[in-house]
Amino acid sequence: MKDFVLRRVVALLLPFIQMFGIYVIMHGHTSPGGAFAGGMVVGLGVIGFSTVFGIEQGKTKMPEHVTTITESYGTLWYILMGLVGIFKGLPFLANKLAVDVGVPGELTSGGLIGLIGVGVGIRVASTMVTLFFTMMEEEA
Amino acid sequence: MTAVIKTHLPVFVVAAPLFVSFLLSPMARRFGWVQSLVVGVQGLGLLLAVYLAGMILKSSGVPIIYSMGGWPAPWGIELWTGSLGAFFLLVVAGVTLPISLYAVNNLSDEVGDATRSTRFFVLYLLLAGVLAGMALTNDLFNIFVLVEVATISCCGLVSARRGPNAAKAAFNYLILATLGSGLILGGIGLVYMITGNLNMGFAGIALNGVWQDYPHVVWMAMSFFLVGFGVKAALFPLHVWLPDAHSTAPTPASAILSGLAVKGYIICLVKILFGVFEVHLLDVFRLDQILVLLGMLAILAGSILALAQGELKRRLAFSTVAQVGYIVLGFGLMNIKGVAGTLFYLASHAVIKSTLFLAAGALISATGKTHVKDFAGVGRKMPITMGVFSIASLGLVGIPLFSGFVGKWYLLLGSLEVGNLTAAGVIGIGSVLCAIYLFPIIRTAYFEPAPEDDWQDPGVPQRLALVMLGIAVIGLGVLPGPLLQLAQKAAADLLIIP
């Protein structure tokens, strides 16, 4: 789209959209939302960018080989975090027993859940983007 | 180290295939590694499953309970490795290994280039991990999640072959399976509403106390589960998606879908019916008779429909509908012999049907023909493929010394024990029909002259896979011992007989 105002506004808003998405991902255990919702927002930022600046431009920001890696390894991260418990001699996915979860209400109080959330967020964001690109390719 | 692996065995069995499947897709360029990883993790899975089953057998059925994250039962999620779980896990691991071996270097014709084949393996391992999860889970909501993941990977596997037929079959399956998922979720919701528990053991205890206050809710939940899992397991009137989906999928996918995926849903249904509602309630609500009736219908209808099919893979797909009938009928008998027989039949059908589909796929890709009458003389040209196909056919019909016989024998004994002569008759008629739709293929292959064609057995990994499965069919028939013992323990656990 060639519209100057639209391009400017999206370019200005994009960092804030992404920042908000990351905020929601990181605060999944202390406030409403979480990794899925936050990942969605991050993905929607990229989708908004691609609709305004064109699919080609969007694909240079998130090429297919990158989304393949983030999608797979985002989920792999979940299993790896589960293994932390086993390395500490505790059951799979142990959290409170395995690591220091800190003071309730603080950012770090989720223990491994915060870290798992980062993986899930990355995965959801790249899945959203892949879905969008796939659908647009079929349209064209 | 071994002690660590031993304590966390149930988790590793489920997580290892999932772990590898998430590792694969960025590795598409090194397709050799992808294949060796898949076969390797399946081999490891089989070892772990055998060990786990041995542990259960040795402790004579004392379950291994694993609390995820260290949270105990009503709050946390449990992996419950009882005799049923160990049994089904063994079946899953034993059948997925040969199927993945068959897929090695053999997907390019049916699926496509390395990227597409890698995606196929991702879905395949996802399904294998989820089936292992279905075997071990003891949580109602976990069952729902596993069922959903299995459905999505099945749809992906069906549509892995390019072309409009595959897309149409996958879409049909997706719509019907989603309906099934909705019903299952509804059933879980109803159970949770009146029991307040998602853990199956605790839900069962709570239900025992309150079911008299909510008879209609219990009735509705049961029917939701029966219809929901019935759609997914292709129980006779709800089987309409299966023939298209299983006959258009690529060969290894047909094998795992027909051999294992359908049974995963049946195991989930059985876990819920016998674990939450328990025998007493099934008896009160006459569900045993409904299961027997549905099973008999499925056996007759599936066999007759299979007779009418000219295409080899469609015939095998309809035969699966009939065999699901046997399995459901056996669970309806509600005695040790019937249930143990049906579990053994489930295992033997998993082996036999994957053998038949793999052999059929090899025949079709070598000859380029699909109709059952086109395979004249194949027996001479492709001795291993057709030999294994014949062994599996004999097994499916239930000839003594082949694995199907043991299961059918116990099913017969079970139905005679409850005095249900009709069921026994239907089991016999089903076997005869099965012979009628399978033996002509063998006759054409061996006793009719071959056209001058250069047909050959498939490559080494494929032959190895076929031979492994063929040996399993005979082995389970000649020495059913340990597996049958495990099945009997599982039956006793399900029926709550000490």
Q: Are residues B247 and B362 in the same domain?
A: no
Question: Whole-angstrom Cα distance, residue B160 to residue B123?
Answer: 10
Cβ atoms of B138 and B80 closer than 8 Å: yes
pLDDT tens digits for B446-475? 888 877 777 888 889 999 999 999 999 999
Q: What proportion of chain A, given as a percentage, has pLDDT over 70? A: 98
CA of A98 to nearest chain B CA: how many angstroms apart? 9
Give the pLDDT confidence score for residue A140 in this predicted structure.
58
Q: Is B18 left (phi over 0), alpha (psi -120 to 50) or beta?
A: alpha
Among B119, B136, B153, residue at a domain's last position: B136
Q: What is the CA radius of gyration of chain A?
A: 18
Q: Is residue B281 part of a domain?
A: no
Tell whether the model's pLDDT for residue A2 goes beyond 80: no
Q: Is residue B146 part of a domain?
A: no
Contact between chains at A65 and B26 (C-beta distance less than 8 A): yes
User: Mean pLDDT, to the nearest integer, of B343-349?
Assistant: 95
- Report yes or no: A69 at the B interface, CB cutoff 8 Å: yes
Nearest to B456 by CA among B362, B390, B356, B355: B362
Question: Whole-angstrom Cα distance, residue B127 to residue B154?
Answer: 7
In the stretch 7-26 of chain B, residues with CB closer than 8 A to chain A read 8, 11, 15, 18-19, 22-26
pLDDT band at B416 (very low <50, low <70, confident <90, very high): very high
Tell whether the model's pLDDT for residue A98 goes beyond 90: no
Q: Map residue B496 onto helix, strand or coil.
A: coil
Question: Whole-angstrom Cα distance, residue B114 to residue A91?
Answer: 37
Q: Is residue B363 part of a domain?
A: yes
pLDDT tens digits for B196-244? 999 999 999 999 889 999 999 999 999 999 999 999 999 988 999 999 9
DSSP E strand boundaries for chain A: none
Tell whether the model's pLDDT for residue B268 goes beyond 80: yes
Give the pLDDT confidence score for residue B188 in this predicted structure.
95
CA of A54 to nearest chain B CA: how many angstroms apart? 26
Report the predicted TM-score, pTM, of the whole model to 2 decimal places: 0.94
Tell whether the model's pLDDT for residue B139 goes beyond 70: yes
CA of A88 to nearest chain B CA: how many angstroms apart? 11
Q: Are residues B455 and B397 in the same domain?
A: yes
A vs B, Cβ pairs < 8 A, gives 49
Give the pLDDT confidence score for residue B128 in this predicted structure.
95
Please, what is the Cα angle at B349 between B230 and B309, to 5 degrees? 75
Residue B346, number of CB atoms within 10 A of its CB: 26
Q: Is residue B169 part of a domain?
A: yes
Backbone angles phi, psi at B81, to 5 degrees: -95, 85
Token pair listed for A20: 């908000």
Backbone angles phi, psi at B201, to 5 degrees: -60, -50
pLDDT band at A90 (very low <50, low <70, confident <90, very high): confident
Q: Is residue B468 part of a domain?
A: yes
Distances (CA, A) of B492 to A39, B31, B274, B300, B339: 47, 46, 11, 29, 9
Angle between helices B421-447 and B403-417 (to 10 degrees): 160
Give the pLDDT confidence score for residue A24 in this predicted structure.
93
Cβ atoms of B96 and B260 closer than 8 Å: yes
- Report yes or no: A72 at the B interface, CB cutoff 8 Å: yes
Residues B155, B160, B161, B162, CA torsion sign: positive
pLDDT band at A1 (very low <50, low <70, confident <90, very high): low
pLDDT tens digits for B143-193? 999 999 999 999 999 998 878 888 899 999 999 999 999 999 999 999 999
Q: What does pLDDT average to over chain B?
A: 91
Residue B419, number of CB atoms within 10 A of its CB: 8
For chain B, what is the domain count?
A: 3
Helix boundaries (H) for B159-310: 164-195, 200-210, 215-233, 242-248, 251-256, 262-272, 278-284, 287-307
Matching residue, tokens 């599996």: B392
Backbone angles phi, psi at B108, to 5 degrees: -65, -35
Give the pLDDT confidence score for residue B459 in this predicted structure.
86
- Single-letter amino acid code for the residue at A112: L
Tell whether the model's pLDDT for residue B376 goes beyond 70: yes
Q: Is residue B157 part of a domain?
A: no
Domain spans, chain A: 4-139
Query: Which chain B positions have a beta carbon within 8 Å of A71's beta carbon?
Result: 25
Matching residue, tokens 């049923």: B84
The secondary element (H helix, E strand) that includes residue B458 is none
Q: What proportion of chain B, given as a percentage, has pLDDT over 70? A: 100
Please tell me the least confidently modeled range out of A100-109, A115-124, B56-65: A100-109
Q: Are residues B191 and B226 in the same domain?
A: yes
Q: Are residues B272 and B291 in the same domain?
A: no
B425 or B497, which is more confident: B425
Q: Are residues B318 and B181 in the same domain?
A: no
Q: What is the CA radius of gyration of chain B?
A: 21
Question: Whole-angstrom Cα distance, residue B33 to residue B14?
Answer: 21
Tell whether the model's pLDDT for residue A108 goes beyond 90: no
Contact between chains at A72 and B25 (C-beta distance less than 8 A): yes
DSSP E strand boundaries for B304-352: none
ipTM for the assembly = 0.89
Question: Whole-angstrom Cα distance, residue A18 to residue A38?
Answer: 9
Q: Are residues B272 and B316 in the same domain?
A: no
Query: Which chain A positions have a beta carbon within 8 Å of B70's beta carbon?
Result: 85, 90-91, 94, 96-97
Cβ atoms of B331 and B446 closer than 8 Å: no
Please tell me the least confidently modeled range out of A76-90, A94-108, A120-134: A94-108
pLDDT band at A110 (very low <50, low <70, confident <90, very high): confident
pLDDT band at A17 (very low <50, low <70, confident <90, very high): very high
Tell whether the model's pLDDT for residue B318 goes beyond 90: yes
Q: Are residues B230 and B354 in the same domain?
A: no
User: Mean pLDDT, to the nearest integer, of B27-31?
Assistant: 86
Give the pLDDT confidence score for residue B395 in this predicted structure.
93
Token pair listed for B322: 């009939």
State the DSSP string of chain A.
---HHHHHHHHHHHHHHHHHHHHHHHTTTTSS--HHHHHHHHHHHHHHHHHHH-HHHHHHHS-HHHHHHHHHHHHHHHHHHHHHHHHTTS-TT--TTTS---STTSGGGGTHHHHHHHHHHHHHHHHHHHHHHHHHHHH-
B326 or A31, which is more confident: B326
Cβ atoms of B15 and B129 closer than 8 Å: yes
- Single-letter amino acid code for the residue at B387: G
Give the pLDDT confidence score for residue B6 in this predicted structure.
83
Q: Is residue B145 part of a domain?
A: no
Give the pLDDT confidence score for residue B321 in this predicted structure.
94
Contact between chains at B22 and A65 (C-beta distance less than 8 A): no
CA of A89 to nearest chain B CA: how many angstroms apart? 8
Q: Are residues B121 and B225 in the same domain?
A: no
Contact between chains at A72 and B68 (C-beta distance less than 8 A): no
Query: Which chain B positions have a beta carbon within 8 Å of A86's beta carbon?
Result: 4, 8, 11
Q: Map residue A27 onto helix, strand or coil.
A: coil
Cβ atoms of B133 and B146 closer than 8 Å: yes
Burial of B164 (0-12, 13-18, 19+ CB in 10 A): exposed
Give the pLDDT confidence score for residue B72 in this predicted structure.
85
B25 or B47, which is more confident: B47
User: Mean pLDDT, to the nearest integer, of B80-84?
Assistant: 91
pLDDT tens digits for B90-100? 999 999 999 99
Give the pLDDT confidence score for residue B92 in this predicted structure.
95
Range of the domain at B453: 286-498
Tell whether the model's pLDDT for residue B5 goes beyond 90: no
Give the pLDDT confidence score for residue A139 in this predicted structure.
65
Tell whether the model's pLDDT for residue B108 goes beyond 90: no
Q: Are residues B263 and B290 in the same domain?
A: no
- Report yes or no: B471 at the A interface, CB cutoff 8 Å: no
Residue B266, number of CB atoms within 10 A of its CB: 23
Q: Is residue B149 part of a domain?
A: no
Give the pLDDT confidence score for residue A93 in this predicted structure.
85
Nearest to B106 by CA among B250, B316, B311: B250
Q: Are residues B196 and B95 in the same domain?
A: no
Give the pLDDT confidence score for residue A138 in this predicted structure.
75
Among B276, B304, B336, residue at a domain's last position: B276
Within 8 A by CB and 6+ apart from B464, the residues are: B98, B101
Cβ atoms of B14 and B136 closer than 8 Å: yes
pLDDT band at B304 (very low <50, low <70, confident <90, very high): very high
Please tell me the least confidently modeled range out of A2-6, B34-38, B377-381, B451-455: B451-455
Question: Whole-angstrom Cα distance, residue B243 to residue B379?
Answer: 26
Contact between chains at B70 and A73 (C-beta distance less than 8 A): no
In the stretch 65-104 of chain B, residues with CB closer than 8 A to chain A read 66-70
Helix and strand totals (H; E) in chain A? 5, 0
- Report yes or no: A85 at the B interface, CB cutoff 8 Å: yes
